Structure 1
């Protein structure tokens, strides 16, 4: 848990007011970003004090990233005098589109997924690598150490792009859900076609001898039903959201092929346009959201795991000699990741070491 944070997970209620906008306004934002820039640049923090921050992601309001994270941030920020205009569920486009809209300052706050933006944030996929971290709060707090103002990821990847991380969503514990084949030892994986989210998970899938297949998560159910793929690499939350217990016979338990990390960031320009009081409110709201989100993910993971078992999914524990064999195999993914970044002139080994040290601090 973050120091000083005691908030429990929050769910959306009818009393929470979020501003959901439609894609019809995207054009007007794009135009306004190009027109009238001179007057905006001359504005002082006081003159734009009442202007809402424009926040966007590509998750539905019912998704844990929104329910426990974005919506909590919005509620806290607005109660602290910072209005928010929110565009959920991909109204502003794909993860790639959101990155462009942040860099061009059409958006003020948004999600940035290293798994989908590998060319922009290669180092930030460090927490997507295989590990023994199964607690979302441990992973999220460790990542925030690296993403904070003094953190190596902020200095290397976000600050140069004019972005300031606020809070981070982490779905830990990617497991293999397979349609018919029981995967227990590393010898069971070669030759399998596995749907992957991209980034570090692609490398992990390839490393175990399976073939990574890129496709939207929403297509995974039909692909498994039609045996287009043999399985998927998903967290329990994601697998349950897509109803994969209806087409998967088995899931590993304790393999932990990696995680999915999603920093939410604010542009430095938007940050500078806030008053000191508003900056304090945004910082406090982000900390509350970070803690609420990780606790919510932990809670939803337990629920999803139980309900999938009730739906007929069989869990295959990874333990004993099999666990040792998997650990040895997956350690190579981490080493290869760091080495490839080192060879490209980036501090891969330094980032991996910093992340491992931060994880140890919060475990």
Structure 2
């Protein structure tokens, strides 16, 4: 059997001893995986690497992965195209990195969608795998294996702390895409879209004043070295990550391998989400001991943020809905999924 982008390895021992039976050939499926995270990142250890190890184990070694972390195969923004074109078989992609290809999936960037990674991951994975968000991936030439959300984004600041909404006025804030840019703009700041690997230099040089970032992703990029203030209880949007596989490659896989991949995918989504939630509290305590000032918004301040950010979702529905009639249904389905947790 031939696989597109797969390597079939014959059992050499059987060949050497002249075995003629068809069962004498053991096929091993090798899949190339492109990733933008480092091997030490929690999303890699508890997500991509965990997925690969479990699939290899549950297929008894029938499937083997060749992993290209830290943008070795393609830049973060190019990994969706890399998987779709067959440069790699599987890729970790970011929904907000492809707003033109995945406009409905940018819903995850809206503020207020869950107070933990697990709370947002459950509805996100359901909608990407089998719901209203799946078709965009299929149209892009890939099949989603699983999706997960990060912890709610907090604000990290280089020099100036924020407390009230008015404190954001005039700040240049790194955002993960156009949806988060709406959040920054609604508070008087300017959103500057940058992928994770470029953020450290931008903060260090003062290109941006602050960063919207999830707590578990701060240390892998060493951002705690270049910021002085970090909020602890805001909800300034989120980010969706998706492990996707080339459509033709997936179609060529044996049925039992497909089943294992999808089964492990569901588990991997929740595994990496829970790992992020568990990590956050310890990191904040550690950084406070190192001299970083933690910003905990009061109930009154949180209410003011909620009121200020309310129009962001309406604007997203209107903007995305111009070309995607399912925008409102997607947003409402996500809210319902979060509320059900």
Q: Partner of 2:19 in structure 1?
A: none
Shift of 1:216: 4.8
From 332, 336, 341, the counterpart of 1:353: 332
Deviation at 1:153, TM superposition (A): 0.7
Aligned position for 1:191: 170
Cα distance in 1 for residues equivalent to 2:84 and 2:194:
26
Q: Quick one: distance in 1 between partners of 2:179 and 2:263?
A: 31
Distance apart, 1:344 and its partner CA: 2.4
Q: 1:341 to 1:48 in 2, by over 3 A?
A: farther
Alignment partner, residue 132 of structure 2: 152
Q: Map residues 105-144 of structure 1 onto 2, 5 A cutoff.
A: 105-144=86-125
Q: Name the count of aligned residue pairs.
A: 316
Find the counterpart in structure 2 of residue 85 from structure 1.
66
User: Could you tell me how far apart the structure 1 residues matched to 2:198 and 2:256 are?
Assistant: 45
Q: Which runs of 5+ in 2 are unaligned?
A: 6-24
SS at match of 2:95: coil
Please list every run of 5 or more consecutive structure 1 residues that lacks an aligned counterpart in the other structure: 1-31, 34-46
Give the whole-Å Cα distance in 1 for the aligned partners of 2:202 and 2:125.
36
Alignment RMSD, CA only? 2.1
**Which stretch shows the higher mean deviation, 192-201 or 60-69?**
192-201
* Residue 345 to residue 214, structure 1, CA distance change in 2 (3 Å): closer
Which residue in 2 is equivalent to 1:37?
Answer: none
Q: Give, in whole Å, the separation in 2 of the partners of 1:115 and 1:127.
A: 8
When structure 1 is superposed on structure 2, of 333-342 and 228-237 the one drifting more is 228-237
8 Å contact kept, 1:145–1:358: no
Deviations 1:169-212 (A, max 9, x none): 32122111122322111111111121222232122112211012
Partner Cα separation in structure 1 for residue 134 and residue 257 of structure 2 = 21
Distance 1:56 1:221, change over 3 A: closer
Q: TM-score, normalised by structure 1?
A: 0.81
Residue 52 of structure 1 corresponds to which residue in structure 2? 30
TM-score, normalised by the number of residues in structure 2:
0.86
2:283 to 297, 304, 311: 304
